Amino acid sequence: MSALVHLVVAEQVATVTLDSDHNRNALSRQLVSELSACLAAADDSDARSILIRSVGRVFCSGADMAEAADGGMADGARTVVALQRQIATATKPVVVELSGPVRAGGLGIIGAADIVIAAESVTFQLTEVRLGLAAAIISVSLIPRFTDRAASDLFLTARKFDAAEAATVGLITRAVPDGDLATEVAAVLADLAKAHPQGLRESKKILNHDLVARIDAHGADMAARSAELFASDAAREAMTTFLAKKA
C-alpha cells in the first residue's frame, strides 16, 4: 500500500505533504492515520515549524464518502477530532499552504492550524448540510475562527466562498496571488526559523488555550453526534446519491 502522506525535514521546516490525488486527499482512515504519524514525527524533529501542503488538484475534499457509505464512522469522527487537537497542541507552529480547494472536513485542518496562507484561486465549502449531515467534528476548531454571523451563513447555506472572504471572516491568515504563494509561505517559514523554540512553544500555548479547551469540552460529543448523523437513513440515502452522480 503506497503512502498517502510524506514527511521531509530540511532547513528548519518539517514539511508534511498530502498525496492522495485519486480521491482528492479525502480524509480516509489511511490518510488520517499517516497524517497523525507524520505530525508526531515532525513535532519530535529539530525543525522550527511544521508545514502542511498537498499535491494534486485539491487540498482536501473532506470525508472519504466511499468509507462513510460503508458505515462505521464513529472511529473516524474521533480520529478527526484528535487530529485537530494534535495540530493545535503541537509544540511547533503549524503552517498550511493552500494551493487547491478545501471542502467539508478538510476545513478542520485549517481551523486548527496556526497560520494559513492561501492562493487567491482557492475556494472553500462546508457541504455537510446538503448530505443530511452537520459540520459537527470540525465545529470545535472552526467556530472560534468565525464570527457568529459568518458561521451561521457558511454552515447553513453550504455556499462556496473564496480565499478573500475566508481571510475576512478569519478562517485563513491571508490570501495572496497564486504566483506569490510559494514566496509568501517561504517568508513566513523564514520568520519562524528566527524564533527560539521555547518562545514559539509557549506563545502557541497561550494563543491556543481556549481552542484546546473547546476541543476537550466538546470533541467527544461532536464525534458521537457526527457518527449518528452518518449512520442515519437520510444521510445514507444522500451519500448513495452523491456517489452515484460522481460515478
Flag whether 165 is in a domain: yes
In this prediction, residue 148 carries a pLDDT of: 92
Flag whether 108 is in a domain: yes
Q: Which of 139, 117, 145 is nearest to 59 (CA)?
A: 117
Count of domains forming the chain: 1
Contacts of 186 (CB under 8 A, 6+ apart): none
pLDDT in tens, 158-189: 999 999 999 999 999 999 999 999 999 999 99
Q: What percent of the chain has pLDDT over 70?
A: 99
Q: Are 104 and 61 in contact (CB under 8 A)?
A: yes
Count the alpha carbons within 13 Å of 67 in the hemisphere toward its beta carbon: 18
Range of the domain at 137: 5-179
Query: Which CATH number fits the domain that encloses residue 125?
Result: 3.90.226.10
Q: What letter represents residue 224's amino acid?
A: A
* CA R_g for the chain: 17
Q: Above 90 in pLDDT, residue 72?
A: no
Active-site choice (128, 165, 184, 202)? 128
Q: Are 7 and 15 in contact (CB under 8 A)?
A: yes
Flag whether 231 is in a domain: no
Flag whether 184 is in a domain: no
For the record, the C-alpha cell of 15 comes out as: 514539511
Q: Are 73 and 27 in contact (CB under 8 A)?
A: no
In this prediction, residue 66 carries a pLDDT of: 84
Q: How many helices (H) and strands (E) does the chain have?
A: 11, 9
Give the strand pairing for 49-54 and 13-18: parallel
Flag whether 164 is in a domain: yes
Flag whether 135 is in a domain: yes
184 has catalytic annotation? no
Mean pLDDT confidence for 124-136: 97
Q: What letter represents residue 179's amino acid?
A: G
Flag whether 215 is in a domain: no
Mean pLDDT confidence for 9-15: 98
Average pLDDT, the chain: 96
Flag whether 44 is in a domain: yes
